[in-house]
């Protein structure tokens, strides 16, 4: 499988919620408030391979520029996320049925719709073999976008 080019990421905030209700989210990556990478950051990917990013409100210092949503905003867009509980560092995680959870380490969680789980795992395994120096945290988005591409074929 050919890897995809770097995706265009749409940065969204509270004022975009109404426009996003009804999109078909197939993957969501959530970073706990103290996570490595982008603490409080949330990526979501649609079945059309659109990628969105926001920060959960009150996760960053006030002097940084960013767009943010509340947890309730994200639940409006992805209702199944309402049952997600991150636990501590990957332990005690709870999530809705029909979603696959992958703990990406250091406070980062990935949820993938179950119908895409097997093709996602296949794609991420391929990428891990091609790039043994990288961890899944750095590969998940390319893997889900590749999975969506092969799911269409």
Give the per-residue pLDDT at 88.
67
> What whole-number percentage of the chain has pLDDT above 70?
86
Q: Which two tokens stand for residue 120?
A: 């996602």
Q: Tens of pLDDT along 76-122?
A: 999 988 888 776 666 667 788 899 989 998 889 999 999 999 999 99
pTM, two decimal places: 0.87
The ranges assigned to domains in the chain are 9-114
Of 55, 67, 49, 7, the C-alpha closest to 31 is 55
Give the per-residue pLDDT at 17.
95
Q: Tens of pLDDT along 44-67?
A: 999 999 999 999 876 554 545 568
């Amino acid at each position: 499988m050919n890897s995809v080019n770097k995706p265009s990421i749409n940065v969204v905030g509270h004022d975009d919620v109404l426009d996003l209700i009804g999109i078909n989210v197939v993957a969501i990556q959530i970073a706990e408030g103290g996570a490595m990478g982008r603490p409080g950051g949330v990526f979501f990917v649609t079945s059309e391979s659109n990628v969105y990013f926001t920060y959960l409100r009150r996760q960053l210092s006030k002097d940084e520029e960013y767009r943010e949503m509340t947890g309730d905003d994200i639940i409006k867009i992805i209702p199944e996320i309402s049952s997600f509980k991150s636990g501590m560092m990957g332990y005690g995680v709870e999530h809705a049925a029909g979603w696959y959870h992958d703990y990406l380490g250091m406070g980062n969680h990935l949820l993938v719709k179950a119908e895409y789980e097997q093709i996602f795992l296949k794609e991420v395994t391929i990428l891990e073999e091609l790039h043994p120096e990288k961890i899944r945290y750095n590969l998940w988005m390319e893997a889900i976008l590749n999975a969506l591409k092969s799911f269409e074929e």
